[in-house]
A and B are shown apart, each in its own frame.
Chain A
Amino acid sequence: MKVASLVTSICLSLALLSSASAQDAKYPKDIVHIVVGSSPGGTADTVSRLIADQLGKTFGQTFVVDNMPGAGGALAATTVKAAAPDGYTIGFVFSSFSILPSLNPKVNYNPVTDFAPIAKVSSAPNVLLVNPSFGVKTLAEWIEKVKANPGKFDYGSGGIGYSQHLSMEMLLQAIKGESVHIPFTGSGNLLAALISDQVPFAFDTLTTAVPHINAGELIPLAVTSAQRSEVLPQVPAVAEQVPGYELTAWNGFVAPKGTPPEIVKALNEAILAYLATDKAKEFFAKVGTKIDPSTPDKFGAVIGDDYEKFGKVISEAGIKAQ
């Protein structure tokens, strides 16, 4: 048993050695760093680790995840922007990537011109939730009540400039309603505030809200994706009432601008191949987000659209950091 395993491991390392020398010119020759702008743990980190592991197997090279939390992901994005465009430093980014530069002038990157998109990985809508005591059951009733009482009601979010905040600002701008923003720190605190009726309504990510919807603590009025969500098919999309309204939170990989296209292509193919496996489908079903792979170009278009859309919402709402 022991000898057998020793023999296999020797054979394996020999095989690795020979393949390495045979493919001398081929990417990747060295460890690849994936910079993630969130703390260890949590969905974004877990997803990136899972994919890093898979890319490692596909390319026969180690892909390590570097956690660089801070400034809502801006620290990580700035690090990726400054890295050499050789494919050995890539970033795993999420929606805030295209929001932060409009929000904070100190954030020194442009999500469109400073990066080469690799692939989108998954996406999830937000859902408009109300506490049952607020007394509305549909989006139409909600719109009516909010418009009839400008500035009277509070709404919560997980933080200023978070997608929960911008979802509401976009909706309020569309229906010309007014409501006072009360930021909380993170989705968990937001949900607690909603359930204990500190704030009557808020947008939150679908995944974290579902258990509380099922328990009857919160009523879902509408989802932010253009179409209804498979998770809550009975809940309408905001767009059914407010045409053109759309917002999805997503995540995906980017590289520094100037990374060779063939490397971007190789990474994109490897990521997409993994996302098509049953293992990936099972994992993402558990996490509750939808696998939403795309080509580099399409991902670039999503980033660009969001950058433009959120920039407009932010300047119209007068949300501006100094």
Chain B
Amino acid sequence: MDFLSNLALGFHVALAVNNIFFCFVGVLAGTLVGVLPGVGPLATIAILLPVTFSMEPASALIMLAGIYYGAQYGGSTTAILLNLPGEASSAITTLDGYQMARNGRAGPALAAAALSSFFAGTIATVIVALFAAPLSKVAMAFRPPSYFSMMVLGLIASVVLARGSVLKAIAMVLLGLLMGTIGTDIYSGTARLNMGMLELADGVDFVGLAIGLFGIAEILKNLEGHQTREVLTKKVTGLMPSLSDLKRIIAPTIRGTLIGSALGILPGGGAMLSSFAAYIVEKKVSKNRDEIGHGAIEGVAAPESANNAGSQTAFIPMLTLGLPSNAVMALMIGAMILQGIQPGPEIIVKQPDLFWGLIVSMWIGNLMLVLLNLPLVGLWVRFLTVPYPVLVVAVMAFSAVGIYSASGTLFSMGELGLFALLGYVFMKLGCEPAPLTLGFILGPMLEEQLRRSMLMSRGDPTVFLTEPISLGFLVAAVLALLIICAPAIARRREEVFVED
């Protein structure tokens, strides 16, 4: 009954008029920055941080949290309509979302993204409310070898992302890994592959990479001829998903929610990795797996539910332990300190109103988001009727402004341009950018955890086998490798995928 009284307290706080208002402001702002490419929740929360000084602590956190998970809703919009990931965590949604839009099914894709996000948000909120404390212990049990083995599994599974040739997919993953090594080596401080440029000291900017490779490259391709865009607007058939669509997204949404909830808790995991993992799993287990990559609604529902679930459970280590699992959570901790609250394990006991109020507000915020986003679907789809040259200029301007505002250097513009050209070349060569992106994300984590494990074990590689969690992941990785390499399956893959 303790739980019910806690929940009641949460509703009491979250339903206070001012908190509902700030929750709405937060999710609205989140949706907007999610839609705008380049501008992320991190920069937005940072800019709004000083505004929260004068607010009550609960209202401040409710609003800032709303921006974060609201951005997960908005991020899918441009990913689906323009192949332009509005948020890093929506990069994978471009694969099937944009294909759906090209098939005239932008409406159902957007609606599926909103509905699966809402489902995931609801479940993840319940998970946070019920299991926050025990789950944070699980996160703490992950030591460097376990992380490393988990990344190995992820890397092997990433080959599944290939829509065409497997060999090209592997090459792209490797290229992504290589690009991930650019920057300062965290163990020696040595600058690597940065050609003497201080701007590359922290590595290649992921936002510029994703927007360039996916979004701007697609624009370049579309500008080659006029015929492709016509298709997009003419064939729009129905804004809402059909009953069979809804049936198809149930299982992927549940799977995505579970994957997102699990990965969100782990440091560095969060929304981005969750969406990739959910997509990869879907591509292997879905009933319609052959369609995924060609505009299947499962390929939208799974990553979108995962990134939203992940962004909710990312709050668990922050709220229960006072430890940030990603940069946004680090900012939330900063916001708490500025409010005079000591983030840490004592928050649940000392500030139950804040803790439960925030959790309940997340669910209310998700409800607002789905109510906000569903009616917007029609409006967004009409965006596609904007003459393409106008749309292109606006999109490129917004992308450039967004990226510049976060970095403050012209160098980032050069990065964006370079990746746009690179993306165009890849497209011509039939190389998919998705495996590269995953390699780019996993590479630095893989290296960081591998070298940390080896440093701690004084160079003894058996730690990866003696640690139970690590061993489990390695066994799974070997199994995954066998499945991928099994010749019969491989032959079938070629038949199914080679046609584009």
Contact = CB atoms under 8 A, between A and B. Distances in A.
A41 B323 contact: no
A185 B334 contact: no
Nearest to A319: B189
B345 interface: yes
Interface string A36-55: 00011111011001100000
Given A39-B46, A70-B202, A106-B196, A46 B338 contact: yes
B323 A192 contact: yes
B46 A188 contact: no
Contacts of A72: 201
A185 B445 CA distance: 11
Contact of A321 (B141, B189, B317): B189
B201 A74 contact: yes
B293 interface: no
Interface in B408-456: 408-409, 448, 452, 455-456
B331 interface: yes
Contacts of B186: 159-160, 183, 185
B191 interface: yes
Contacts of B188: 160, 321
B452 A182 contact: yes
Interface string A114-128: 000000000000000
B337 A107 contact: no
Interface string B39-53: 000110111011000
Contacts of B322: 211-212
Contacts of A199: 456
Contacts of B458: 180
Contact of B47 (A40, A207, A212): A40
Nearest to A36: B408
Contacts of A321: 184, 188-191
B346 A196 contact: no
A180 B452 CA distance: 11
Given A40-B46, A75-B201, A192-B140, 19 more contacts: A39-B406, A40-B406, A42-B331, A46-B49, A75-B198, A75-B199, A78-B198, A106-B191, A154-B455, A180-B455, A182-B452, A185-B448, A188-B324, A188-B333, A189-B267, A192-B317, A211-B345, A212-B322, A322-B190
11 contacts: A39-B327, A40-B43, A66-B408, A69-B202, A160-B186, A188-B329, A192-B321, A196-B143, A215-B344, A287-B338, A321-B184
Closest 7 CB pairs of A and B: A211-B344, A40-B46, A41-B46, A71-B201, A321-B189, A188-B324, A211-B342
Interface of A: 39-43, 45-46, 49-50, 66-72, 74-75, 78, 103-104, 106-107, 154, 159-161, 180, 182-183, 185-186, 188-189, 191-192, 195-196, 198-199, 207, 210-212, 214-215, 217, 283, 286-288, 319-322
